[in-house]
Amino acid sequence: MFCTRCGVALSQEDSFCAKCGQSTVAPVAAPIYRSPRPLTRLMDQKKIAGVCAGFARYFDCDITLMRVMWLIIAFGTGIGFVGYVVAWIAMPKEYASDARDVNLRTA
């Protein structure tokens, strides 16, 4: 085993390089899912408040499918209505003119 920073030979038991102090234990990076698309209400594609349009873009799925799913949840459980209002309040508005990267927008 060799130090990844300075290349000095290390024993298997060493957790730090004696020469430069580099850790020999690989940092465990937690797999964090981050969407490259912000979760915002799309004011240009909205039917009511742009919530479904925003979620459709966030999860990269069809906007109509998202609306249908949302309605099924809303009428099936009642949670959808509350969730929609919560999302309405919580999600920031986004206008097409705000978009920094046009490629992130759904057509």
Q: Which residues bind Zn ion (CB under 5 A)?
A: 3, 5-6, 17, 19-20, 22
> Which is nearer to Zn ion, 18 or 68 (by Cβ)?
18
Least Å distance, CB 18 to Zn ion, is 8
Which residue has 């919530």 as its token pair?
51
Least Å distance, CB 27 to Zn ion, is 16
Least Å distance, CB 14 to Zn ion, is 10
> Which is nearer to Zn ion, 3 or 87 (by Cβ)?
3
Q: How far apart are CA 36 and CA 79, in angstroms?
A: 27
Least Å distance, CB 9 to Zn ion, is 10
> Which is nearer to Zn ion, 8 or 65 (by Cβ)?
8
DSSP 18: T
Find out whether 23 and 16 touch, Cβ atoms under 8 Å: yes
Instruction: Fill in the amino acid letter for 15.
Output: S
Tokens matching residue 95: 């206008």
> Which is nearer to Zn ion, 17 or 42 (by Cβ)?
17
